[in-house]
Structure 1
Amino acid sequence: MKMQSKITPTKKTLSPYKILILGGTSDARRLATSLINSQIAVIYSIAGLVRTPDLACQIHIGGFSQYGGMQHYLKDQDIQCVLDATHPFAVNISNKAQQACSLCQTQYIRFERPQWNQYPNDKWTSIIQWSEVFGALKHQKNVFLTAGQTPHDILVKLSKQTKNLFLRTAVQPKEALPNNVNWIKAIGPFDQVSEQQWLKDNQIDLIISKNSGGQATYGKIAAARELGIDVIMFQRPAILHVPSDQSFAFNTLDQCIEHICNLNGSIYEH
């Protein structure tokens, strides 16, 4: 996959093609808004678990199995470009998207949000799978679990090793939670000041998080640094990179937008 960094200005043009955005993140919504404002035809795809964004484009909710797979959807909808702006830990959809694009010879673009860096005062324990969490637990009493949807058996096991477990997610768990698990429904962004106060009020002594990157949820990490709180940090899983001349990755939103607008302009000229 080619990594691009140079940004060159381009003018708005009427779009002669359609782009499918795999969304569900704040970055994806910003990308969609910018491309729509650039008069590019956008289909915005989400799983539909949390909320439907208010975007001036076609919204696709749910998966692609009803079409026989994403590759068939790309052909049926005459999609010329797929922009993958899903969560860095949503590896399944990203892998499927690359494979579908390869089969259809459709350009695949991935926005790879830069991950958080560890600073000297950060008290991180880096892990890659849930089995490592339990070995990393010490004698913490009040644990803040903010790592997205967590398997129920993991929640049960964690609850047995802590006095209080605070679980913050956008979607309520489907199964009943143990008595010492406090579920908090919340959707970012979360600022550092509020996060720091919440951590102090609840006497949190451990945070379990994913290295999601971005600013929307970084407040808890910065707050943990200030308060000297331990963090168990999931490192990002590897995403399949299908070798292709039509596969690109960018680490800023501007780079994605400029690349797509330039593509749109070159196709329009022909």
Structure 2
Amino acid sequence: MKLLLLGGTSDAIKLCQLLLQEGYDVIYSIKGLVRQPSLPCEIHSGGFGGVEGLAQYLQQKSIDGLIDATHPYAINISNNARLAAQHYNIPCYHYLRSPWKKQSDDVWINYQSSQQLTSLLSADKVVRPFFTIGQLSATFLAAKNPQSHYIVRTAISQKHVLDKVTWIESIGPFSLENERQLFKHYAVDALVSKNSGGVSVAAKIQVAREMQIPVFILQRPVLKTDYPVFNHYDELLKVVLKVL
């Protein structure tokens, strides 16, 4: 059986390894902006061209099943996967990493848009926020408080060079000690993060908890799907082994 695994996360790599161990012929797909995984299978790097392009790829490669293990915030890719699988009439499964749970001593503030975040940062009088939500738009940066100094960590090079914006190009996982040193070095007084879940980038949440500084959490997008969603490898594998 040939499977297409939409990846780009550490969970997807682990899932791919497990499927290969079970004898499946897996094509691992990654957007390709950051780094290529080292896997003993075919790697597809780059996009597909929307729903139609993905459906054509499924047919060309004679794919028997599609597994979406992309980032929890990659909602467009997940929607395309669902529609393409329906069009080609093959099973589709979604692996969704469980979100982090707020602890009693966490100071979390949820937000849904960049405009709302700008207002919240201003209202909370944040001066040195640490952003870990990917690239920031020029519009968002233009609206920053001129007294604030943004620290922005991204996996790819910055697109904008501005005064009082420090860019850190780095890829996780990040250790607890590394995050403690970073927060101290840059005098971080707030964290801006997605609720990505998992362990590879979770240390920043613990450091914010230790320092009792606010964490502005971008709420997860709601995945509207009619195909099975799994939060654990073993549950997904059990179904795949039974169906495919």
TM-score over 0.5 (shorter chain)? yes
- Provide structure 1 residue ranges, at least 5 long, that are not aligned to the other structure: 1-16, 265-270
1:70 matched to 2:54? The reply is yes
1:141 matched to 2:109? The reply is no
1:169 to 151, 154, 163: 154
1:232 matched to 2:216? The reply is yes
Instruction: Give the superposition deviation at 1:126.
Output: 0.6
Instruction: Give the superposition deviation at 1:261.
Output: 2.6
2:235 counterpart letter in structure 1? Q
Q: Is this contact kept in 1: 2:107–2:213, CA < 8 A?
A: yes
Tell me the SS of whatever aligns to 2:193. strand
Q: Is this contact kept in 2: 1:71–1:103, CA < 8 A?
A: yes
Residues 48-94 of structure 1, C-alpha deviation per residue, up to 9 Å, x if partnerless? 10011111101111111299511111111111111101000000000
Counterpart CA distance in 2 for 1:205 and 1:212 is 21
1:248 counterpart letter in structure 2? P
Q: Who is 2:142 aligned against? A: 156
1:125 to 109, 121, 143: 109
Counterpart CA distance in 2 for 1:215 and 1:41 is 28
The Cα RMSD (Å) is: 1.6
Tell me the SS of whatever aligns to 2:84. helix
- Provide structure 2 residue ranges, at least 5 long, that are not aligned to the other structure: none
Q: Is this contact kept in 2: 1:156–1:177, CA < 8 A?
A: no
TM-score (norm 1): 0.85
Identity of aligned residues (%): 36
Q: Is this contact kept in 2: 1:193–1:223, CA < 8 A?
A: no
Q: Which has the higher contact order (CA 8 A, sep 6+)?
A: 1
Counterpart CA distance in 2 for 1:220 and 1:29 is 23
Aligned ranges for residues 1-270 of structure 1 at < 5 Å? 17-65=1-49, 68-137=52-121, 138-158=124-144, 160-174=145-159, 176-241=160-225, 243=226, 247-264=227-244
Counterpart CA distance in 2 for 1:196 and 1:85 is 30
Instruction: Give the superposition deviation at 1:205.
Output: 0.3
TM-score (norm 2): 0.94
Instruction: Give the superposition deviation at 1:258.
Output: 2.6
Aligned residues between the structures: 242
Q: Is this contact kept in 2: 1:142–1:162, CA < 8 A?
A: no
Instruction: Give the superposition deviation at 1:157.
Output: 2.2
